[in-house]
């Protein structure tokens, strides 16, 4: 695998969703081969809707089939709010995707935050980290958890998860999950996977669609000033394990380093 992030650009989000499904399916297969389950961390924002379109479409072949009962779903970041709150990433994923999975296709294991301690964001983060320790302990020597796939969004300011530009959390090296109480995007109190955990995953993929992402993608991929943005730091840390799924409006006029292969992770 080469040392650069892969960039897959599609005329429309319909085409993007088709390839995103193929990519997630390959990541799932690799996870199942490796350890019999598929451990995925998902983001909020615009991602759950796109992911739902990709994954809820009927499968056209056995290869395309999603084995939901083998999925363990974690949250790349979460807002410190009740699970039925409009700001909750869990709530969003549930309404967009989880509630729509046909029962006959199996039920994924979903790991939301512990909402008993919402008044203490550090404790919410600590408990989520403990959950990861338990979930990953039997497999790894748990220096860092290794997700099979982390699915990320790219905010218009270059943030990803709840890692914001210039924030001290970008320097966190020890915690797996960290609290943030001064998020520049509301709500202020959140928890997030830290950068070392995100870039340690087997695969990392960004999904960014729409003309609203054009300026920030230009900065991330073309400009020196973009190198310190959280999304660019993921690119730098994950290199060839990182893929971007974008539509044409999101990358109009953006010059990218060439992607050397013909399809998502075709070298695996
Ligand atoms: O606040 C958040 O924003 C980012 C980006 O969202 P998008 O709507 O621009 O895709 C998201 O990835 C993150 O999970 C969420 O908490």
Read off the pLDDT band of 62 (50, 70, 90).
Answer: confident
Q: Ligand 1: which of 46, 89, 155 to mutate, judged by most atoms within 8 Å of the beta carbon?
A: 155
Q: Quote the CA–CA distance of 5 and 221 in Å, as a whole number.
A: 10
Does ligand 1 have an atom closer than 6 angstroms to the CB of 88?
A: no
**Domain 6-251 classification at class level:** alpha beta
230 CA → ligand 1 middle, Å: 12
d(CA 125, CA 105): 32
| Minimal-distance CA residue to ligand 1 atom 5 | 155
Mean pLDDT of the chain: 93
Going along the chain, which residue ranges are E strands?
6-10, 38-42, 71-75, 77-79, 109-110, 149-152, 177-180, 190-193, 203-208, 242-247
Going from the Cα of 185 to the center of ligand 1, the distance in angstroms, rounded, reads: 9
Query: What mean pLDDT do residues 4-11 have?
Result: 95
Mean pLDDT calculated for residue range 120-132:
97
Q: Which of 187, 208, 203, 214 is nearest to 238 (CA)?
A: 203
Provide ipTM, 2 decimals: 0.98
**Each residue's pLDDT tens digit, 201-237:** 999 999 999 999 999 999 999 999 999 999 999 999 9
Which of the listed residues 42, 44, 156, 234 should we mutate to test ligand 1's pocket, taking the one with most ligand atoms within 8 A of CB? 44
Q: How confident is the model at residue 139 (pLDDT cuts 50, 70, 90)?
A: very low
Q: What is the pLDDT of residue 268?
A: 42
User: 73 phi and psi, to 5 degrees?
Assistant: -100, 125
The single residue listed with the structure tokens 């949250």 is 75
Closest residue by Cα to atom 2, ligand 1, is: 45
Confidence (pLDDT) at 267: 43
230 lines ligand 1 (CB under 6 A): no
Task: Write out the two tokens for 1.
Answer: 């695998």
Ligand 1 center to 46 CA (angstroms): 7
* C-alpha 239 chain-centroid distance: 15
Q: What angle do CA 16, 19, 25 make, to 5 degrees?
A: 135
Cα distance between residue 25 and residue 71, in whole Å = 11
Q: How far is the CA of 78 from the centre of ligand 1 (A)?
A: 10
- pLDDT confidence band for 258 (50 / 70 / 90): low
Instruction: State the closest ligand 1 atom to the C-alpha of 154, by its place in the atom list counted from 1.
Output: 5
């Amino acid at each position: 695998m080469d040392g650069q992030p892969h960039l897959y650009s599609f005329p429309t989000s319909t085409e993007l969703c088709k390839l995103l499904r193929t990519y997630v399916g390959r990541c799932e297969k690799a996870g199942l081969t490796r350890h019999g389950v598929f451990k995925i961390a998902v983001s909020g924002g615009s991602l759950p809707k796109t992911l739902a379109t990709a994954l809820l479409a009927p499968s056209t072949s056995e290869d395309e089939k999603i084995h939901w009962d083998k999925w363990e779903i974690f949250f790349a970041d979460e807002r410190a709010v009740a699970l039925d709150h409009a700001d909750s990433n869990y709530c969003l994923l549930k309404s967009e995707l989880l509630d729509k999975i046909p029962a006959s296709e199996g039920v994924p294991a979903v790991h939301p935050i512990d909402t008993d301690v919402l008044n203490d964001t550090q404790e919410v983060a600590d408990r989520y980290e403990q959950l990861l320790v338990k979930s990953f302990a039997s497999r790894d020597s748990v220096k860092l958890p290794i997700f099979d796939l982390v699915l990320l969004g790219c905010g218009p300011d270059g943030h990803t998860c709840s890692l914001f530009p210039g924030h001290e959390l970008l320097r966190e090296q020890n915690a797996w999950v960290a609290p943030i109480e001064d998020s520049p995007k509301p709500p202020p109190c959140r928890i997030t996977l830290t950068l070392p955990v995100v870039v340690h995953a087997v695969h990392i993929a960004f999904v960014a669609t729409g003309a609203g992402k054009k300026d920030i993608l230009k900065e991330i991929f073309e400009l020196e000033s973009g190198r310190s943005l959280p999304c660019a730091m993921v690119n730098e840390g994950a290199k060839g394990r990182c893929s971007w799924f974008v539509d044409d409006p999101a990358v109009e006029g953006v010059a990218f380093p060439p992607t050397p292969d013909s399809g998502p992770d075709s070298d695996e």
